[in-house]
Amino acid sequence: MNNLIKYFLNFFDPETAHKLAVSMLSRNYFISYRTKNLYTRIANLKFKNPVGLAAGFDKSGQCFQGIFQLGFSSVEVGTVTPFPQEGNNKPRVFRLYKDRAVINSYGFNNDGMEIVKKRLIDCKRRDGVLGVNIGPNKESKNPIEDFKVTSSNLSNYCDYLAINISSPNTPYLRKFHDKDLLLEVIEATKEGMNQNSKYTPIFLKISPDEKYSQIDKIIEVALAKKIDAIIVSNTSIELPSDFLRKSKLVSGGLSGQPIFEKSTKLLDYINNHSKGKIGLVGVGGIENARQAYTKILVGASLVQLYTGLLYQGPNIVKVITNEIDQYLKRDGFKSILEAVGALNYKEAIKLNSIL
């Protein structure tokens, strides 16, 4: 049944297919999957398995409960901005089937924090960890204030907040990778949260395109400011030269298979240079269990995927978790947590016969 829905959705252009999928998930049209119990943890958050849905699918918090039913242990709603916005002009998402990739230039189309907040308050059931990814409006006069206001409005209603400084489709956003600006963004997010009674763990979502010298400074800031986790990574703007032409878009962020290597090397680098002191979420080009397991071995306590769901369909979490369970047994690990960071990039790639 779930695979039939996947084939049905393939007949539509990607944005329409996405809208239909969100609508079906919000009505629970899909059959639920039970997944292996593969407990993992970041900060004080417990995840029933290490596979989460990355930000950008449930942009406005409409269908996260339906996504939990597919087996995902966590869903990152968003990116949510203070005010609703339409996003960039259409067409703004393109599938590169042969490359098992997507290029998107959505530009934070979302219903805005007030509506999302109401949905989070109204939701009756939540079978997993709920993150909310926050960012500024495109035309904002004060993006730092946008982080503060979204944090104060939403942090009470989720399990973690993800600070998004890395989407390439809000033109100025990546400048917040700069050390001083990043400090301001984190301070503002914390100030917003302090207006509420509850502490909510803070994750920071970064770009895969930064120089490693810049990454060193980000690690320094993350450690100093006690960031709970770094999400590595968002989409890449470094596209093979023919990709944009093939996609017929003028600009956008690349996701899926072509960014697996780059995002996993970056994850490995951050794990080594933070000496295991920061939680890591591995994202970018995960379509199968070997890729997910590789990210865990190089340091990710949790992985997330998005593009893989589009190509592999709704049973992707079930398949990945079943196989990871076998790999853990094969390699003598008693739990996911034992496998986290056990190998370096080269060793993990070799073990999993990737590339």
Which residues does the annotation mark as catalytic?
167
CB 258 within 8 A of CB 232: no
Residue for token pair 């080269």: 346
Classify the phi-psi angles of 352: left when phi > 0, otherwise alpha if psi is within -120 to 50, otherwise beta: alpha
Collapse the DSSP code of 308 into the 3-class scheme (helix H, G, I; strand E, B; otherwise coil) and give the result: helix
Indicate the residue among 106 and 327 with the shorter CB distance to ligand FMN: 106
Q: Report, in Å, the least distance between residue 57 CB and ligand FMN.
A: 7
Residue 165, both tokens: 């400084």
Span interacting with ligand FMN, options 5-13, 140-148, 179-187, 283-291, rule CB under 6 A: 283-291
Q: How far apart are CA 314 and CA 301, in angstroms?
A: 22
Binding to ligand FMN (CB under 6 A): which residues in 29-88? Answer: 54-56, 59, 78-79
Q: Report, in Å, the least distance between residue 203 CB and ligand FMN.
A: 10
When asked if residue 104 is in the footprint of ligand FMN (CB under 6 A), the reply is yes
Span interacting with ligand FMN, options 111-119, 149-157, 300-308, 325-333, rule CB under 6 A: 300-308
Q: How far apart are CA 43 and CA 189, in angstroms?
A: 18
Residue for token pair 């809208």: 19
213's CB contacts (< 8 A; 6+ apart) are none
When asked if residue 307 is in the footprint of ligand FMN (CB under 6 A), the reply is yes
When asked if residue 95 is in the footprint of ligand FMN (CB under 6 A), the reply is no
When asked if residue 286 is in the footprint of ligand FMN (CB under 6 A), the reply is yes
Cite the beta strand spans of the chain per DSSP E. 40-42, 45-47, 51-53, 74-80, 93-96, 101-104, 129-134, 160-164, 202-206, 229-232, 253-256, 279-283, 302-305
Mark residues 216-245: x for contact with ligand FMN by CB under 6 A, - for none.
Answer: ------------------xx----------
Nearest to 14 by CA among 235, 301, 306: 306
Q: How far apart are CA 135 and CA 148, in angstroms?
A: 10
When asked if residue 247 is in the footprint of ligand FMN (CB under 6 A), the reply is no
When asked if residue 147 is in the footprint of ligand FMN (CB under 6 A), the reply is no
Q: How far apart are CA 8 and CA 12, in angstroms?
A: 8
When asked if residue 202 is in the footprint of ligand FMN (CB under 6 A), the reply is no
When asked if residue 283 is in the footprint of ligand FMN (CB under 6 A), the reply is yes
Q: Report, in Å, the least distance between residue 124 CB and ligand FMN.
A: 25
Span interacting with ligand FMN, options 44-52, 102-110, 171-179, 264-272, rule CB under 6 A: 102-110
When asked if residue 102 is in the footprint of ligand FMN (CB under 6 A), the reply is yes
Residue for token pair 């993990």: 348
Mark residues 148-187: x for contact with ligand FMN by CB under 6 A, - for none.
Answer: ----------------x--x--------------------
CB 242 within 8 A of CB 270: no
Q: Report, in Å, the least distance between residue 261 CB and ligand FMN.
A: 12
> Any idea what DSSP says for residue 180?
H
Binding site for ligand FMN (CB under 6 A): 54-56, 59, 78-79, 93, 102, 104, 106, 108, 133, 164, 167, 205, 234-235, 255-256, 259, 283-286, 305-308
